[in-house]
Amino acid sequence: MRTIVIGDIHGCSKALIGLLEAIDPGKEDRLIFLGDYVDRGPDSRGVIDILLDVQQRYTATFLLGNHDIMFRGVLTGRDPTLWLQIGGQPTVTSYGGKLTKVDPSHLDFLQQCLPYWESDSHIYVHANYVAALPMDEQPEEALFWEHLSTRLPHPHCSGKHVVCGHTPQMTGDPLHLSYLTCVDTACFAGLWLTAWCAETGQVWQVSREGHLRHRGITARFRRWWWSGASRRDGR
């Protein structure tokens, strides 16, 4: 069984399709999506349609991102002004220019997304965390809004390895620390949509246009080194 984590999609449906094809999930695998399914990219509507299909086909866990929170709020009556200024307009366009065209199943999907998810060895969260607090006591500011560039946390008190998105890695490669992995690699900005296997450290990356990145020897070395680092740290 593989646990495969997928970073911030931000309306990049072609990238999502290409990434799922590259991963080729099996029945024993679990897919974990870290949130920010909508905004900024061209096809938020298509992304949620794909995720609804994934929900039916595979074992999948869907976390909530800050852009999903804003979109959900607008759909339930909140003022859209700020949301439109920070990436919401392409989402409206993807729904034919009117939020009244949003299928109720899309809102239902967003309302069912989780704030975080834990396994025996890992914690999965959209944005950040407070190291000294158990996950059920985390403030929303940390879970959904706080960038790693604002506050890089210490290892979590549980000893579990934390996997997050939200903070774009503009190098195009995931951030790997001994206790933390960030897989947001700024697909909407022209870089990559990234997936990462928690058990092996394998990385898949696809461009906004849906083209697989061939990572070659450097990537294989990185995966080998990360697996070794995990063993050395007891994670």
Structure confidence by residue, pLDDT tens digits, 90-127: 999 999 999 999 999 999 999 999 999 999 999 999 99
Residue 51 pLDDT more than 60? yes
Domain assignment of residue 221, given as a range = 3-233
Number of folded domains in the chain?
1
Q: Summarize pLDDT for 162-207 with one digit per residue, the tens.
A: 999 999 999 999 999 999 999 999 999 999 999 999 999 999 999 9
Could you tell me the pLDDT band of residue 85, with boundaries at 50, 70 and 90? very high
pLDDT of residue 215: 67
pLDDT of residue 87: 97
pLDDT of residue 229: 47
| Mean pLDDT, the chain, integer | 93
CATH number at residue 223: 3.60.21.10
Greatest alpha-carbon pair distance for the chain in Å reads 53
Could you tell me the pLDDT band of residue 214, with boundaries at 50, 70 and 90? confident
**pLDDT > 70 in the chain, percent:** 91
181-211 b/e (C-beta count within 10 Å ≥ 16 → b): bbbbbbbbeebbbbbbbbeebbbbbbbbebe
Contact 69, 21 (CB under 8 A): no
